[in-house]
Amino acid sequence: MTEAAGQFITPVTMQALSQRPVYGSQWDARADNNMLHINLSREADACLIAPASADFMAKLAQGRADDLLSLLCLARPRQTVPLLLAPAMNREMWSHPATQRNMAQLRADGATVLGVGQGDQACGETGDGRMLEPQELLDDLVAFFQPKSLMGQQVLITAGPTYEAIDPVRGITNLSSGKMGFAIARAAREAGAEVTLVAGPVSLATPRGVRRVDVRSARDMQAAVAQQVDAATVFIACAAVADWRPAVAADQKIKKDGSGQAPELDFVENPDILAAVAQSARALSRALYCVGFAAESQDLLANAQAKRTRKGVPLLVGNIGPATFGQDDNALLLVDEAGALELPHNSKLALARQLIANIARRIRAGGQNDGH
């Protein structure tokens, strides 16, 4: 902690909450070699300064070292101990050219300056400069350590179910929490891609740095995908799209008429978003790597292989639907022209990272979007 940090929260509170020793001075007698700046920086995986004040960043930009924290930042082995900064300050201080100049210098020196939040500030003003929330900082730190295998790629992902209205209060939908698709969006972003997530009705938080487009019906999803797909280099269709929709959605609630007869509903088939995207990319010889999903209840391998050919995609990912709906874990079967690869039972996020690494390898190897 710097001296200024001690004005906000005491070292005792910090120690009690973190259950870790807290250091503030390079002359701390707990170090038996008087070399705290070396001891602390040698055993770290990363230095994350949160919050990083305008003053502290100015100091770092100049390479000054007059307190323990700046001293250990300067003394750290730069090749193995990355420095991340989470700025926090008043909006005027944040936008000041001096602060922006210092941040540019820090980036040029190899530091990673994380973003800032927007909203109410401690001083009562509103704007840019809030420290990111702790969970956001943790997500950014975790993402920092992921391999950047999809750098430069534009990934478009569909996720969640679709909802097909029968009338204003009823509809049909599929069982899908969206968790697998959201995990894939997060993993793709962590891998350095620009990610757009087209999401059906789900109640999940948008992963950090992911652009999200919310839709309801299959046709909404198709329209959103059509708008985004031209910019994409990878398309991952993870959504559980309703196969059919009521032929007409009634404007008003369909009433029970007391006859004991259920209303007759006619259904029409929804457009197959994935098959259409894959087909159009092939027709235009576009470099768009398409990946489909199959939620099956049995015969995963045979069903996934058949679906891969039917959809005309190079890679199809099978999972046993009822075993994974709404859960935080899953198991995947990656099916391509040559055969199948099992990704055994794991958290959806771990599987999403493995899948993204696998897709990145295929793209690097020059995988064509040819499912046939």
Positions marked catalytic: 123
Q: Shortest gap between Cβ of 304 and ligand C5P (angstroms)? A: 10
Return the amino acid letter for 240: A
d(CA 184, CA 193): 11
**Toward ligand C5P, which CB reaches closer, 37 or 307?**
307
**Toward ligand C5P, which CB reaches closer, 140 or 164?**
164
Q: Shortest gap between Cβ of 307 and ligand C5P (angstroms)? A: 6
Please report, for the chain, how many H helices and E strands are present, in that order. Answer: 14, 17
Backbone angles phi, psi at 86, to 5 degrees: -115, 90
**Toward ligand C5P, which CB reaches closer, 82 or 292?**
292
Binders of ligand C5P among residues 193 to 232 (CB under 6 A) are: 218
Q: Shortest gap between Cβ of 141 and ligand C5P (angstroms)? A: 32
Q: Which helix (H) or strand (E) holds 213?
A: strand 211-214
Q: Shortest gap between Cβ of 346 and ligand C5P (angstroms)? A: 20
Contact 195, 236 (CB under 8 A): no
Binders of ligand C5P among residues 282 to 321 (CB under 6 A) are: 292-294, 307, 311
**Toward ligand C5P, which CB reaches closer, 60 or 238?**
238
Beta pairing, strands 234-237 & 289-296: parallel
d(CA 369, CA 162): 26
Q: Shortest gap between Cβ of 311 and ligand C5P (angstroms)? A: 6
Determine the interface stretch with ligand C5P among 44-52, 235-243, 323-331, 349-357 (rule: CB under 6 A): 235-243
Please identify which residue in the block is written with the tokens 């487009």: 213
Q: Shortest gap between Cβ of 22 and ligand C5P (angstroms)? A: 50
Question: With binding defined as CB under 6 A, does residue 158 bind ligand C5P?
Answer: yes
**Toward ligand C5P, which CB reaches closer, 88 or 343?**
343
**Toward ligand C5P, which CB reaches closer, 130 or 307?**
307
Determine the interface stretch with ligand C5P among 15-23, 62-70, 93-101, 267-275 (rule: CB under 6 A): 267-275
**Toward ligand C5P, which CB reaches closer, 102 or 217?**
217
Question: With binding defined as CB under 6 A, does residue 334 bind ligand C5P?
Answer: no
d(CA 192, CA 39): 33
Q: Shortest gap between Cβ of 107 and ligand C5P (angstroms)? A: 39
Q: Which of 274, 343, 351, 352 binds ligand C5P (CB under 6 A)?
A: 274
Beta pairing, strands 329-335 & 315-320: antiparallel
Question: With binding defined as CB under 6 A, does residue 281 bind ligand C5P?
Answer: no
Strand order in the sheet with 194-199: 211-214, 194-199, 154-159, 234-237, 289-296, 315-320, 329-335, 340-347
Question: With binding defined as CB under 6 A, does residue 164 bind ligand C5P?
Answer: no
Determine the interface stretch with ligand C5P among 66-74, 165-173, 187-195, 271-279 (rule: CB under 6 A): 271-279
Question: With binding defined as CB under 6 A, does residue 333 bind ligand C5P?
Answer: no
Binders of ligand C5P among residues 236 to 265 (CB under 6 A) are: 237-239, 241
Question: With binding defined as CB under 6 A, does residue 191 bind ligand C5P?
Answer: no
Please identify which residue in the block is written with the tokens 């309801």: 216
Q: Which of 84, 156, 272, 289 binds ligand C5P (CB under 6 A)?
A: 272
Token pair belonging to 101: 């100049």
Collect contacts of 322-327 with beta carbons under 8 A, ≥24 apart: 322/297, 324/180, 324/295, 325/175, 325/176, 325/177, 326/175, 326/177, 326/179, 327/179
Sequence-ordered list of residues with C-beta below 8 angstroms from that of 340, at least 6 positions apart, any chain: 301, 304, 305, 333, 334
d(CA 83, CA 106): 10
d(CA 209, CA 191): 12
**Toward ligand C5P, which CB reaches closer, 113 or 226?**
226
Token pair belonging to 273: 């978003």
Residues contributing to the site for ligand C5P (CB under 6 A): 158, 218, 237-239, 241, 270-274, 292-294, 307, 311
